[in-house]
Amino acid sequence: MNKMKLLLGAAVLPYGFVFAFFDGLRFPSIASGKGSSASGDFVCPGSAAWIHHASCQVEMVTDMPCSSVREEVLARVAGENHWLDPHNHGTYAIAKNKDQGTEGEDDSSVVSLQRTTRSTPAYTDLITLQFVDDEGKNSDEAPSGASCRVRGCSESQVTSWLDFSTNYCNIHNLLCGSADGCAYAKHDLHTRDETLGTCSASNARSCASTASSGTSAITALASTPSVIEEEPTEQGVLEGRKLAATEKMNYNKNVDIHVVHPEEDLTPKLQEDASTSFETDTRIYE
């Protein structure tokens, strides 16, 4: 068994050097694990995975002071105002120091996080976000000195190659705003100038596998009947069914799946359905 591991390691090692070389060319400040900034060295969280693990490094600018951006990130992590991770409802948390290999409290410009999947078995990714005030490089939409450059690094903790954009989404969903179709907890963030380092995959469309309103998290919940315990209104049921039908979902066990033409008007049919089953049908999605 050990001999097989040595042979496999010898076969993979040259590719590792190639990947490391190109990583350094494409994103030197993060691929190497360190980069100079106003607050010191930037360090990716690291991984104990054997041979290879999925990861993603992202750098972007937000048109808001770093203090507000950091506040919004922590608010989402804490689930304030009922914010939910739109990527399969994963769970974010402040990473324990021992998980990051650091001592003492996090620096004010760096946040160390972890995200755990809701699957069985559950998987945990480690995330590091660095916030650097980017004075003098704001856009026309932001006042002078209000920009913040954010560097994010997310790494899987198990041996993996394909992650279906999970590590990218770990960062994206903490920083996207209503312009991206994302709900927010306190501050509606606007990001630009996104630069990708080495990412196993980076498809933003994969980051929203659950409903999102693109407004506040409270409004997002109001448009998602599956997470509301109170009785929905008849109009809410009608709108929910129309959304479900356009997504080709079977929103009612007593109603056949109906494939919708883009120009087809479902309102008459849905009104008829709502009038006959509204009293007993209180959940749209399972």
Q: Kindly report the pTM of this predicted structure.
A: 0.60
Same domain, 131 and 178: yes
Phi and psi, residue 262, nearest 5°: -55, -30
- Evaluate whether residue 128 is within a structural domain: yes
Residue 18 inside a domain? The answer is: no
Q: Are residues 85 and 202 in the same domain?
A: yes
Residues 60 and 122 both lie in one domain: yes
User: What is the mean pLDDT for each group of 10 consecutive residues in the chain (286 residues)?
Assistant: 49 44 37 36 80 93 93 96 95 74 53 93 94 67 71 94 92 96 95 92 87 56 38 51 47 37 46 40 25
Do 173 and 243 lie in one domain? The reply is no
155 class by beta-carbon count within 10 Å (0-12 exposed, 13-18 middle, 19+ buried) = buried
Number of domains in the chain: 2
The domain boundary residue, chosen from 206, 222, 238: 222
Q: Are 218 and 244 members of one domain? A: no
**Residues 252, 210 share a domain:** no
Position of tokens 């494939």? 259
Q: H or E segment at 274?
A: helix 267-277
Rg (CA), the chain: 22
Do 161 and 231 share a structural domain? no
28 & 92 share domain: yes
157 and 239 in a common domain: no
Pairing of strands 110-116, 124-133: antiparallel
- Identity of residue 35: G
Note the pLDDT of residue 93: 95
251 part of a folded domain: yes
60 & 180 share domain: yes
pLDDT at 120: 87
Specify the pLDDT at position 216: 64
For residue 151, give the amino acid letter.
R
Return the bridge partners of 110, or none. 130
Query: Residue 257 has what pLDDT?
Result: 36
- Last residue within a domain, chosen from 204, 222, 240: 222
> Per the domain annotation, does 268 fall within a domain?
yes
Closest CA to 134 of 143, 126, 125: 143
Nearest Cα to Cα of residue 52 among 12, 25, 85, 14: 12
One domain, residues 232 and 206: no
**Is residue 213 located within the same domain as residue 232?**
no
> By residue range, what is the domain housing residue 74?
24-222
- Residue where a domain stops, chosen among 222, 250, 268: 222
